[in-house]
Amino acid sequence: MNNTVDIVTPNTIAKYFLVKSRDDGDLVSPLKIQKLVYYAYVWFLVNKNKKLFNEKIEAWPNGPVIPSLYKQLKRYGSSPINVEEFTKVKDENEYNNLTNLIPKNVRNLLDKVYSKYMTLTPFELVMLTHSEKPWKEARKGLLPTQKSNNEINDKDILFQFK
């Protein structure tokens, strides 16, 4: 399954969600944005049978994590992400530049993911991912707080959600 929408990165998806959340008046932590980007990947894989991006998603103690996105967001800790600082989107023109990076069919799917999961708290999203086969399978044999780089398997995602 190597069909990937290469132009959409986890970073771009996170920025898209963050600008939407700012416009809605919501604050988003790195933990929450990780789960939103994860579910965007899941929904795209299940609905299009293609990977949304080619980066590994790891099963960390608090749920699925995209390591490259984690590195970019870790400076915020558990605090809300500073949307202007992280996205560099300050006006309509910059917003249009961001959305133009995302094909319309992908944007439509991202909007559905956002609508479904944005109202959940970070803790609810952690509990949701912990209840699902993909994360559980990748964490098999590990203690609850044990660090791991185990990858969440696309086959487990498809098994859980198709």
Mean pLDDT of 130-134: 97
The mean per-residue pLDDT over the stretch 35-46 comes to 97
Residue 160 in domain: no
Q: Is residue 162 in some structural domain? A: no
In a domain, residue 118? The reply is yes
The residue with tokens 């006006």 is: 91
In this structure, is residue 126 part of a structural domain? yes
The 10s digit of each residue's pLDDT in 57-110 is 999 999 999 999 999 999 999 999 999 999 999 899 999 999 999 999 999 999
φ/ψ of 7, rounded to 5, equals: -80, -10
The pLDDT assigned to 162 comes to 80
Query: What is the spatial distance between Cα 79 and Cα 29, in angstroms, rounded to a whole number?
Result: 6
Q: What gap in Å lies between CA 45 and CA 52, rounded to an integer?
A: 7
Is the Cβ–Cβ distance between 97 and 35 less than 8 Å?
no
* 130-133 long-range contacts, CB within 8 A, separation 24+: 130/63, 132/160, 133/159, 133/160
Q: Give the model's pLDDT for residue 24.
A: 93
43 located within any domain = yes
Query: Do 118 and 129 form a contact (C-beta atoms < 8 A)?
Result: no
43-62 confidence digits (pLDDT tens): 999 999 999 999 999 999 99
Please tell me the distance from the alpha carbon of residue 137 to that of residue 115, in angstroms, as a whole number.
27
Is 46 within a domain?
yes
Res 65: pLDDT: 98
- Residue 147 DSSP class: -
End-to-end CA distance of the chain: 16
Q: How many domains does the chain have?
A: 1
Task: Tell the burial category of 29 from Cβ atoms under 10 Å away from its Cβ (0-12, 13-18, 19+).
Answer: middle
Residue 2 lies in a domain: no
Residue 7 clears pLDDT 80, i.e. is over it: no
Range of the domain at 95: 10-155
CA dihedral 142, 143, 149, 152 (to 10 degrees): 60
The pLDDT mean for the chain works out to 94
Residue 161 lies in a domain: no
Q: Which of 2-11, 17-26, 92-101, 126-135 has the lowest mean pLDDT?
A: 2-11
Tell me: pLDDT of 2 over 70. Answer: no
- Which pLDDT score is estimated for 21? 96
Query: What's the gap between Cα 106 and its chain centre?
Result: 13
Mean pLDDT in residue range 9-22: 96
Work out the pLDDT band at 1, boundaries 50, 70, 90: very low
Instruction: Give the confidence band of 6 by pLDDT, cuts at 50, 70, 90.
Output: low
Q: Which among 116, 36, 20 is positioned nearest to 69, based on CA atoms?
A: 36
Written in H, E and C, the secondary structure of 18-31 is HHHHHHHCCCCCHH
